[in-house]
Amino acid sequence: MIKRPLATAALILAATAAFAHQGVQNPAVKARTHSMMGLDKDLKLMISMAKGDIPMDATAAQSAARRIQAGTPDIAPLFEAPETDPKSEALPSIWDEYDTFTALARDLDQAAAKAAPTIQDRPSLAQAITNIGGACRACHKRYRE
Ligand code: HEC
């Protein structure tokens, strides 16, 4: 039962291993990739705990999920202007479908809000990662190269 969510967690980790932000010149693009890196740091902390790389600490994992939720309202305003950069991975369709983009940001907000209080042990943490990571992926699949 634990195996599948943990496998998913490992996949999410692998999928977010490469960062494009190095070499970005446009400060607006830097600001949004910086914000993404903040979300990523907390999700990775949760994944490390779920995998047993660091000790399980339900309070710390819940805090990480709450920080992800707290960072989510920044996404829409940071991406509002159609700023670009040669190193950006943002797809131009964001600005044709900005309502859908912001709806996906709200989905992450809700997923993190719902998941945070459920985290008690490694299996419930793995489930929270699957739910939160799924909301990250839903947006990346559509709007990130
Ligand atoms: C509503 C859409 C959306 C959501 C939700 C979202 N992202 Fe992103 N993310 C993007 C876009 C678009 C980019 C590409 C930005 C660019 O390169 O200009 C990106 C880029 C990134 C990057 C690469 C940053 C860099 O330095 O290049 C990471 C890491 C990342 N996201 C992690 C996450 C994590 C973790 C979550 C969930 C907790 C998440 N994202 C949720 C849209 C989203």
pLDDT over 70 at 55, yes or no? yes
- Which superfamily does 3-13+27-78+93-143 belong to? Cytochrome c/b562 (1.20.120.10)
How many whole angstroms from 3 Cα to the centroid of ligand 1? 26
Which pTM was predicted? 0.90
How many whole angstroms from 132 Cα to the centroid of ligand 1? 13
Ligand 1 contact via 132 beta carbon (within 6 Å): yes
Domain boundaries, the chain: 3-13+27-78+93-143
How many whole angstroms from 129 Cα to the centroid of ligand 1? 16
For position 22, what pLDDT does the model report?
Answer: 75
> Each residue of 93-130: b (16+ CB within 10 Å) or e?
ebbeeeeebbebbebbbebbeebbeebeebebbbbbbb
For position 108, what pLDDT does the model report?
Answer: 98
User: How many C-beta atoms surround the C-beta of residue 133 within 10 A?
Assistant: 24
For position 1, what pLDDT does the model report?
Answer: 45
